[in-house]
Amino acid sequence: MSDSFLEKEQEILVECEKLLEDAPELIATEAYRKLTADYARMLKNLSRLIRISDRNERRLQTVSEELEVEKKKLEGVADQLAKYLPRQIYESIFSGSQSIEIKTKRKLLTVFFSDIQGFTHISSVIQPEILTHYINAYFSEMSDIAAKYGGTIDKYIGDAMMVFFGDPDSRGPKEDALACVRMAYEMQQRLSDLHIQWEREGLQHPFITRIGINTGYCNVGNFGSHSRMAYTILGGEVNLAARIESKCEPGGVLISHETYAQVKEYVEVVECDLLELKGIPLPVKTYSVVKVSDTHRSHKSELRLNLAGLDKMVIKPDGLSMPERLSLVARLRDMANTLEGIKSHD
């Protein structure tokens, strides 16, 4: 607000000062009355402005409080909605980097599928409430591992899970593929532990999963209608990942040649026979994952232990399939736990 905004008030002041300066003894009653009236008006206006300002401040405060309540409500709703969307997609939408329109792009992705062997049978013999408990626990555990490796959880389809790497964020094809295979390996490791825990709790039918992974160019983006859409991936490479998963040995991780080419420096595999897959014109070369290493080195040497209280133990990791290896690890861990629980006779 410039000074001239109060031009009239300034004029009154100048008039007063001039009158006092020039001839104070000549201040006439009429002039004094006018100044008094002007001053009274200014005082009233000042008082009114203060009230308006206070009212506006109160209103602003009220609006601000209402906005805060609305904001909290929206944040709560957004948090709930976030659970229905892949975390990365939710974050990119809320940050404004992801547009909400029917639009797709082609990207090199590594796609993961898993499902539980014999789930239809399991669901027919377990009470629905118990099944709900364990399937939710299973998905929670697997999703935590997927989040740890930065996978975008596309969807849960019954007992199946679909995850992809390389969108919306990518660390490069190699890193994406390796993260996916590491995630799959850890999932199987974790499930081996969970089998023992759940068996103790009374679950008679363990969840044994098959995992299939493929790397290739897919269409990724929003599919659906303008009123209802899903951020997902489509394409032959996605179907191939699903088909590979269906051929995986229960408890294992089966990867395509394209995925293997990206991760071979870190992964020990058993090369499988060419697979004839439904809907795929040519036979497909696949590899069963035996072990994922942190470094380039492979660990194929025997593990020997010769300690007091241990008769003899030689572990020959070379040649063990991944399920056999994971099962062995889980059993050894169980034995160690049992040993820890035995009281000392000292």
Partner 1 sequence: MEKFDIVATARTPHMSFDPATGIFVLEGESYPEDTKKFYDAPLSNVYAFLETDVTSTAVFSFKLKYFNSSSAKILMDLFVAVEESAQRGNSFKIEWHYAADDDNMQELGEEFAEELDKAEFAMVAF
- Per CB under 8 A, the segment of 38-46, 157-165, 211-219, 240-248 that binds partner 1 is 38-46
**Closer by beta carbon to partner 1, 58 or else 171:** 58
- The number of beta carbons lying within 10 Å of the beta carbon of residue 297 is 9
**Closer by beta carbon to partner 1, 1 or else 26:** 1
Which residues are within 8 A (CB) of 293 and not within 5 positions of it... i.e. 6 or more apart?
266, 267, 268, 299
Distance in Å, CB of 5 to partner 1, minimum: 5
Query: Does residue 73 bind partner 1 (CB under 8 A)?
Result: no
Query: Does residue 33 bind partner 1 (CB under 8 A)?
Result: no
**Closer by beta carbon to partner 1, 53 or else 293:** 53
- State the pairing for strand pair 253-256/209-224: parallel
Report the residue from 11, 31, 43, 56 that binds partner 1 according to the rule CB under 8 A.
56
The DSSP code for 226 is: S
The answer to whether residues 209 and 240 touch, using CB atoms and an 8 Å cutoff, is no
- Per CB under 8 A, the segment of 51-59, 93-101, 306-314, 331-339 that binds partner 1 is 51-59
DSSP character string of 48-83: HHHHHHHHHHHHHHHHHHHHHHHHHHHHHHHHHHHT
Report the residue from 18, 34, 44, 103 that binds partner 1 according to the rule CB under 8 A.
44
Burial of residue 139 (number of CB atoms within 10 Å: 0-12, 13-18, 19+): middle
Distance in Å, CB of 37 to partner 1, minimum: 11
Query: Does residue 48 bind partner 1 (CB under 8 A)?
Result: yes
Please name which of 290, 69, 86 lies closest in space to residue 185, comparing C-alpha atoms.
290
Query: Does residue 61 bind partner 1 (CB under 8 A)?
Result: no
Q: How far apart are the first and last CA of the chain?
A: 90
Q: Backbone phi, then psi, for 293, in 5-degree steps?
A: -100, 155
Is the dihedral angle over the CA atoms 241, 245, 251, 255 positive or is it negative? negative
Query: Does residue 53 bind partner 1 (CB under 8 A)?
Result: yes
Query: Does residue 64 bind partner 1 (CB under 8 A)?
Result: no
Report the residue from 10, 36, 45, 132 that binds partner 1 according to the rule CB under 8 A.
45
Please name which of 171, 177, 163, 263 lies closest in space to residue 215, comparing C-alpha atoms.
177
Burial of residue 219 (number of CB atoms within 10 Å: 0-12, 13-18, 19+): middle
Query: How big is the site for partner 1, counted in residues (CB under 8 A)?
Result: 17
Report the residue from 18, 33, 34, 51 that binds partner 1 according to the rule CB under 8 A.
51
For the chain, helix (H) and strand (E) counts, in that order, are 9, 10
Query: Does residue 84 bind partner 1 (CB under 8 A)?
Result: no
- Per CB under 8 A, the segment of 48-56, 260-268, 269-277, 336-344 that binds partner 1 is 48-56
Report the residue from 14, 31, 49, 313 that binds partner 1 according to the rule CB under 8 A.
49
- Which residues are at the interface with partner 1 (CB under 8 A)? 1-2, 4-6, 8, 41, 44-45, 48-49, 51-53, 55-56, 59
